Amino acid sequence: MDFELSNEQKIWKKTVHEFVEKVIKPKAQEVDEKEEFNWDAPRKGGPIGLLGMSIPEAYGGSELDMISVAISMEEIGWGCGSTALSFTAHNGLGTAPLALYGNEELKKKWLPKMVDGKHKLAALALTEPDAGSDIQGGVTTRAQREGMDG
**pLDDT tens digit sequence for 19-67:** 999 999 999 999 999 999 999 999 999 999 999 999 999 999 999 999 9
52 is a domain residue: yes
Report pLDDT digits (tens) over 61-116: 999 999 999 999 999 999 999 999 999 999 999 999 999 999 999 999 999 999 99
Name the β-bridge partners of 128.
132
74: domain CATH number is 1.10.540.10
Mean pLDDT, all residues of the chain: 91
DSSP reduced 3-state for 90 = helix
Question: DSSP characters for 113-149?
Answer: HHHSSSS--------BTTTBT-TTTT--------S--
Task: Count structural domains, the chain.
Answer: 1
Q: What is the percentage of the chain residues whose pLDDT exceeds 90?
A: 78
Q: What is the pTM of this model?
A: 0.83
56 is a domain residue: yes
Domain that holds residue 85: 18-115
Q: What are phi and psi of 9, to 5 degrees?
A: -65, -40
DSSP reduced 3-state for 32 = helix
pLDDT(3) > 90: no
135 is a domain residue: no
Rounded CA-CA distance 129/7 in Å is: 48
